[in-house]
Chain A
Amino acid sequence: MAAVRVEAVLAAAEEQEAEKRRSITVEKELELEYDLGNLLAVDRNPPPAAALRGAGPRREALLRALARDNTQLLVSRLWELPAERAGGAGGPLVAQLPEPTFRLPREKPAPKPRPPTRWEQFARLKGIRRKKKTSLVWDEQAKEWRRRWGYKRAGGDPSRAWLAEVPAGADPEEDQFARLRREKRERVARNELNRLRNLARAHRAGSAVPAAPLHPTGHQDRDELRRVARVARVSTASLGRFQPRLPKEPAEPPSRSGGKKRRFQPLLGNLAAERSRQLELLRDMGSKKPVLDITRAVNKQLRQEEAEAAAANKGKKQSKRGKRGRRQQRPGRSGKKSGARRQPQQQKPAGGGTGGGRRKKA
């Protein structure tokens, strides 16, 4: 009898549980899709079109029932998220939302890193790194640590300097204080101009104004004028071949390929030149001395690595650009190597390999 009673009690408890849970369960044909980061739920079940066609309160009631079901499902999901009590034991229950998954278009395009300034390009090329300076400097006269620049700087206030020496080759009548002031003003103005130029370059690179038409006078800069002059020259009927040059324009040989592709000599033509070239080739192949100047190559490699290290030190990912910049400069710069470079590329890795090996030992 007791067993029967226990079973009955258990069954009753089960029934009660089911009853409670029934109030929050919703039956749906297709599962909803949830994006909890956006508090979004998408129901793919086709709604009862016939029932919704009739206007009036019945439609409202149906829509409300549908909304209630969907909201119940969404809220159940939200309540299942890991939650904690914010602000101590008595605070409100706060759930941690995951990242939103629904892809929405951005408002503005992704920010582009600003292009390096003229100084930054130069420093990367030369391998100049930033020297960490201390913020305080020992001032001998005041016998204490003073700032490097600014209020109460080491070395006293420059505007209160009561002595200005006349330099060796200067006019004795000239006002030195006025000269110092004028030079400072000029320095500040030049700095400001360069800063604005860098800003404008960055802004222009960011907004990408490609081949813009000429601005009215006052806004042209050197590269733009050069570019436009080149375009104007080539846009004649004979593609600029018979166009006279402007007074100070340098004579440019017409490189139709733009200097990109490798040019080959014509097959039939200068017999003497071909003969001399072949003999020179044979001589270089036969000689014991390597054509590649090892020390020069090694120095070049060292400089390149230093520059790379400088770029990596800065922490910016601009080393690729630097290499490209350097690669463009190399053909112009090393005049001596052009003879050696005529050799096909096979010599270089071998030379580079031995050069590299030798450097490691040293």
Chain B
Amino acid sequence: MDALDRVVKPKTKRAKRFLEKREPKLNENTKNAMLIKGGNANLTVTEVLKDIYAVKKPFAVLYKRKNITRPFEDQTSLEFFSKKSDCSLFLFGSHNKKRPNNLIIGRMFDYHVLDMIELGVEKFVALKDIKNSKCPEGTKPMLIFAGDMFDVNEEYRRLKSLLIDFFRGPTVPNIRLAGLEYVLHFTAVDGKIYMRSYKVLLKKSGCKIPRIELEEMGPSLDLVMRRTHLASDDLYKLSLKQPKGLKPKKKKNISHDALGTTYGRIHMQRQDLSKLQTRKMKGLKKRPAEKSAQDGGATPKKPKSA
């Protein structure tokens, strides 16, 4: 513990950049996921981890070796891994008689476990079992959640938030409309969650918006929820808190009305209205005689011969 907490002074620019990438920032990096095999992971679970790794490609690390830990009992080794590899999402696969084909999906906050949900895989169809063309690696998937369970049940709500976090990918400001190729569809029905991945084919329809045809492509899982370890409400609220710097700055003195007109506000000093420069109207100009009378005869000027 102490070794990881000691202040490391970087000796090269590369080390400095490495450390800067890991420190807390205003706009955070895309979350990385670590895919870990438990002590007794079987073929199914290994295949699941490999497929999820393929889906999440550059933002995931797949550990090859088996790690004998039990996440629900002891979270220190998970936290150690998370700190070492700077990953805040994890997927842990294991298998035993009591919990066959077990997947624990979870996320971290500040390198400590925030939420963990244990899911059992009932049916799994791998990427290589479905023989058609796949979409390129690193495509940002569209996520669709169907079923009212995802709103009604608290655990399902957290699971939805976890799944969005897991599969979201990097946040982008623009997206190429023709590149919307991948969709992940989650249906919650009858205590089971069906995850299906499809490749999207955009067909010509008469109008601008294309007609969608789907082709089953990727891994498809039938999941059932087992144990959960959810964060307490205040820790969850703390993790949701966004720093103030992220809020867009309000432009002051600008207002819009309902019709779309933009109004601006200018603040002026007090003006001496007698000295205001207005348009010169020759007729209203003071005659020299009048002026001298006003000045009290001080320094009379020679009247101009107009």
Report which A residues bind B (CB closer than 8 A): 16-17, 19-21, 23-24, 37-47, 49, 52-53, 60, 63-64, 66-68, 70-72, 74-76, 78-80, 83, 86, 92-97, 100, 102-111, 196, 199-200, 203, 207
Query: In the complex, A106→B243 CA distance in Å?
Result: 10
Chain B nearest CB, measured from A37 CB (Å): 7
Are B185's CB and A66's CB within 8 A?
yes
Query: In the complex, A223→B29 CA distance in Å?
Result: 37
Are A20's CB and B194's CB within 8 A?
no
Are B206's CB and A45's CB within 8 A?
no
Known A53-B190, A95-B174: A68·B214 in contact at CB below 8 Å: yes
16 residue pairs from A and B, CB less than 8 Å apart: A24-B211, A39-B143, A39-B180, A41-B145, A42-B144, A43-B146, A67-B198, A67-B214, A71-B198, A74-B183, A96-B173, A97-B173, A108-B88, A108-B110, A110-B24, A110-B26
- In the complex, chain B residues whose CB is within 8 Å of the CB of A16: 206
- Which of B171, B180, B206, B239 is in CB contact (< 8 Å) with A105? B239
Q: B215: nearest residue on chain A (CB-CB)?
A: A64
- In the complex, chain A residues whose CB is within 8 Å of the CB of B242: 106, 110
Q: Decide yes or no whether B161 CB sits under 8 A from chain A.
A: yes
List 12 additional contacts besides A24-B209, A79-B177, A199-B9; criterion CB under 8 Å.
A21-B207, A43-B145, A46-B147, A52-B194, A53-B190, A92-B177, A97-B175, A106-B109, A108-B23, A109-B24, A110-B26, A111-B26
Q: Decide yes or no whether B80 CB sits under 8 A from chain A.
A: no
Report which B residues bind A (CB closer than 8 A): 5, 7, 9, 23-26, 28-29, 31, 88, 107-111, 114, 140-148, 150-151, 160-161, 164-165, 168, 171-180, 183, 185, 187, 189-190, 194, 196, 198, 200, 202, 205-214, 216, 236, 238-243
Are A107's CB and B88's CB within 8 A?
yes
- In the complex, chain A residues whose CB is within 8 Å of the CB of B179: 92
- In the complex, chain A residues whose CB is within 8 Å of the CB of B148: 44-46
- In the complex, chain A residues whose CB is within 8 Å of the CB of B180: 39, 75, 78
- In the complex, chain A residues whose CB is within 8 Å of the CB of B216: 60, 64
Query: In the complex, A21→B148 CA distance in Å?
Result: 29
Chain B nearest CB, measured from A228 CB (Å): 19
Query: In the complex, A203→B174 CA distance in Å?
Result: 37
- In the complex, chain B residues whose CB is within 8 Å of the CB of A72: 211-212
- In the complex, chain B residues whose CB is within 8 Å of the CB of A37: 171
Are B174's CB and A86's CB within 8 A?
yes
Chain A nearest CB, measured from B219 CB (Å): 14
Chain A nearest CB, measured from B82 CB (Å): 10
Are B108's CB and A93's CB within 8 A?
no
Q: B32: nearest residue on chain A (CB-CB)?
A: A107
Are B243's CB and A83's CB within 8 A?
no
- In the complex, chain A residues whose CB is within 8 Å of the CB of B236: 105
- In the complex, chain B residues whose CB is within 8 Å of the CB of A104: 161, 164-165, 168, 240
Chain B nearest CB, measured from A9 CB (Å): 17
Q: A112: nearest residue on chain B (CB-CB)?
A: B24
Query: In the complex, A44→B206 CA distance in Å?
Result: 29
Chain B nearest CB, measured from A72 CB (Å): 5
Are B206's CB and A39's CB within 8 A?
no
- Which of A43, A94, A196 is in CB contact (< 8 Å) with B177? A94
Q: Which of B5, B179, B200 has the largest count of A CB atoms less than 10 A from its CB?
A: B200
Known A17-B206, A53-B190, A105-B239: A41·B143 in contact at CB below 8 Å: yes
- In the complex, chain A residues whose CB is within 8 Å of the CB of B168: 38, 104
Known A23-B205, A105-B109: A47·B187 in contact at CB below 8 Å: yes
Q: A69: nearest residue on chain B (CB-CB)?
A: B212
- Which of A23, A52, A100 is in CB contact (< 8 Å) with B171? A100
Chain B nearest CB, measured from A279 CB (Å): 53
- In the complex, chain B residues whose CB is within 8 Å of the CB of A199: 7, 9
- In the complex, chain A residues whose CB is within 8 Å of the CB of B202: 75
Query: In the complex, A199→B8 CA distance in Å?
Result: 10
Are A94's CB and B146's CB within 8 A?
no
- In the complex, chain B residues whose CB is within 8 Å of the CB of A49: 189-190
Chain A nearest CB, measured from B93 CB (Å): 23
Known A64-B198, A67-B214, A106-B242: A38·B144 in contact at CB below 8 Å: no
Q: A51: nearest residue on chain B (CB-CB)?
A: B189
Query: In the complex, A79→B178 CA distance in Å?
Result: 10
Chain A nearest CB, measured from B207 CB (Å): 6
Q: A64: nearest residue on chain B (CB-CB)?
A: B214
Query: In the complex, A206→B196 CA distance in Å?
Result: 43
Are A106's CB and B177's CB within 8 A?
no
- Which of B23, B144, B207 is in CB contact (< 8 Å) with A67? B144
- In the complex, chain A residues whose CB is within 8 Å of the CB of B210: 24, 75, 79
- In the complex, chain B residues whose CB is within 8 Å of the CB of A103: 240
Are A93's CB and B185's CB within 8 A?
no
- In the complex, chain B residues whose CB is within 8 Å of the CB of A111: 23-26, 243
- In the complex, chain A residues whose CB is within 8 Å of the CB of B198: 64, 67, 71
Are B174's CB and A47's CB within 8 A?
no
Q: A91: nearest residue on chain B (CB-CB)?
A: B176
